[in-house]
Structure 1
Amino acid sequence: MEPKITISVDVISDVVCPWCFLGQRNLERAKALLSDIDVPVRWRPFQLDPTIPPEGLERQSYMLSKFGSRERIDAAHDRLRELGAAAGIKFDFEAIKVAPNTLDAHRVIRWAGGASEDIQSRLIGNLFSLYFEEGQNIGDPAVLVSAAEEAGMDRAVVESLLPSPADRQEVQAEIATAQRMGVTGVPCFLLEGRYALMGAQPPESLADAIRKVAQAKASGELAADAPDPHDG
């Protein structure tokens, strides 16, 4: 049996982005369509609004300041509920009371990635669900610690690291790198460190793009080892 082709996927996202939640679910479904391709996934940080204070902001007022009217907010939420239902997501926007700063969440996601791909994937899923389906404040250290433990991380380690400055600068540097690459919105799917797909692509589109890159790699049109854009 020939070894599987490996196509790495870096997902640049923010855990308060509903389109990123859709993208996460769609990527899971895309991977299920690619049984002959190994698709390791790494989650990379982005902050849609780094100016939100650490304690967060009242979400209704925050959303009105961004969208300008209740009607525009409702229209966006209705569309997301429709798309979410197709992806198995039960968006409950009314339950969300706080618009959080996501820097600490991204720090925990980074630590999860250092543990294993599976743990990071579980944590990402936990955080999206906690925020968008349960309305929990994922800027709250207690919520982050519980989500990390549920994903398989050491609770005591996360509890000790969160109050410290550990990896704050590293996460901010990764976000700056994404911005230099031209990323202005998320999700952004980066295949083999060089081909970017923007937005919450349907599973079939993601799978097709991954398969095309795999074919190019198998035929020698793509270098076997693409540089990691986040290195250096």
Structure 2
Amino acid sequence: MTDQQAIRVDVVSDVVCPWCFLGQKRLDQAIAASGVDVAVHWRPFQLDATIPAGGMDRKAYMNAKFGSEERVREAHGRLEALGQAAGIDYAFDAITVSPNTLDAHRTIRWAGSAGPEVQNRLVRGLFSAYFERGLNIGDPAVLADAAAAAGMDRSVVESLLAGDADRDAVSEEAATASRMGITGVPCFLFEGKYAVMGAQEASTLTDAIRQIAAAKARGELDAAG
């Protein structure tokens, strides 16, 4: 590319957020369409950090959150239609557990140490495991499987999950996102300067990527900083 430059996108998300899964798919589409070299990094956010470590019954949890089964079905129906267009086969009925996602975010953090590609493979795998296969991504065995599939060392991940490594760091990073004013996810942070909230259409994200890459190439981001 002649007038554009590689950029960084930090995605603040939770792996039990269906809109974040949709956002991940649309971001992938946007990057492919943009022609820009984009490094994606995933940042933690917990939609509900009060869920116990063992998780909660998904049906009861969702009914309490939305107020009725009918409202849950309406929300799921809308997402299923949007998901189909993005290549997601949401299987909400297959999900039996609403997990606490702290361990999932710890695993994602460790994947980031291995590089953006490993982290992206893990995040994609966790979204699919939860929303398309109904797996409990709060279960250490499920997390270890996903980590191994992403190219991580399963035994190392199992050992880390059995201890308290990075619990405080992940919790603090999630709290920092809230203090920054991020109250909903996904949130896409471009070059640490510009935020795009919500699971925007791929075309919107494509435009943002191209504009910010072009501005970076012109040195405008440095000037703004």
TM, length-normalised to structure 2: 0.97
Counterpart of 2:187 in structure 1 is 188
Counterpart of 1:147 in structure 2 is 146
- Give distance in 2, aligned partners of 1:177 and 1:131: 26
Residue 1 of structure 2 is aligned to residue 41 of structure 1: no
Structure 1: where are the runs of 5+ without partners?
227-232
Counterpart of 2:158 in structure 1 is 159
Alignment of 1:1-232 (within 5 A): 5-35=5-35, 37-223=36-222
Aligned residues: 225
Structure 1 residue 110, shift from structure 2 partner = 0.2
Contact 2:88 2:132 in 1 (8 A): yes
- Give distance in 2, aligned partners of 1:59 and 1:130: 15
Q: Secondary structure at the match of 1:121?
A: helix
Q: Secondary structure at the match of 1:40?
A: strand
- Give distance in 1, aligned partners of 2:123 and 2:218: 34
Q: Residues 14-72 of structure 1: CA distance to partner in whole angstroms, max 9, x if unpaired?
A: 0000000000000000010122x211000000000000000000000000110001111
Structure 1 residue 73, shift from structure 2 partner = 0.5
Q: Secondary structure at the match of 2:222?
A: coil
- Give distance in 1, aligned partners of 2:80 and 2:132: 11
| Higher helix content, 1 or 2 | 2
- Give distance in 2, aligned partners of 1:94 and 1:159: 29
Structure 1 residue 224, shift from structure 2 partner = 8.0
- Give distance in 2, aligned partners of 1:101 and 1:225: 39
- Give distance in 1, aligned partners of 2:68 and 2:157: 39
Structure 2: where are the runs of 5+ without partners?
none
Q: Residues 86-130 of structure 1: CA distance to partner in whole angstroms, max 9, x if unpaired?
A: 001000000000000000000000000001111100000100000
- Give distance in 1, aligned partners of 2:211 and 2:70: 41
* Distance of aligned partners of 1:53 and 1:187 in 2 relative to their CA distance in 1, 3 Å threshold: same
- Give distance in 1, aligned partners of 2:2 and 2:91: 45
Q: Residues 168-207 of structure 1: CA distance to partner in whole angstroms, max 9, x if unpaired?
A: 0110111111111100010000000010000001111001
Structure 1 residue 225, shift from structure 2 partner = 10
Q: Secondary structure at the match of 2:125?
A: helix
CA RMSD of aligned residues (A): 1.5
> Taking CA–CA contacts closer than 8 Å with sequence separation of 6 or more, which of the two structures ends up with the larger relative contact order?
2
Contact 1:12 1:45 in 2 (8 A): yes
- Give distance in 2, aligned partners of 1:211 and 1:151: 29
Contact 1:59 1:98 in 2 (8 A): yes
Identity of counterpart residues, as a percentage? 63
TM, length-normalised to structure 1: 0.94
- Give distance in 2, aligned partners of 1:89 and 1:225: 38
Corresponding letter in the other structure for 1:123: L
Corresponding letter in the other structure for 2:111: A
Structure 1 residue 7, shift from structure 2 partner = 1.2
4+ aligned runs moved over 6 Å, structure 1: none
Structure 1 residue 220, shift from structure 2 partner = 2.1
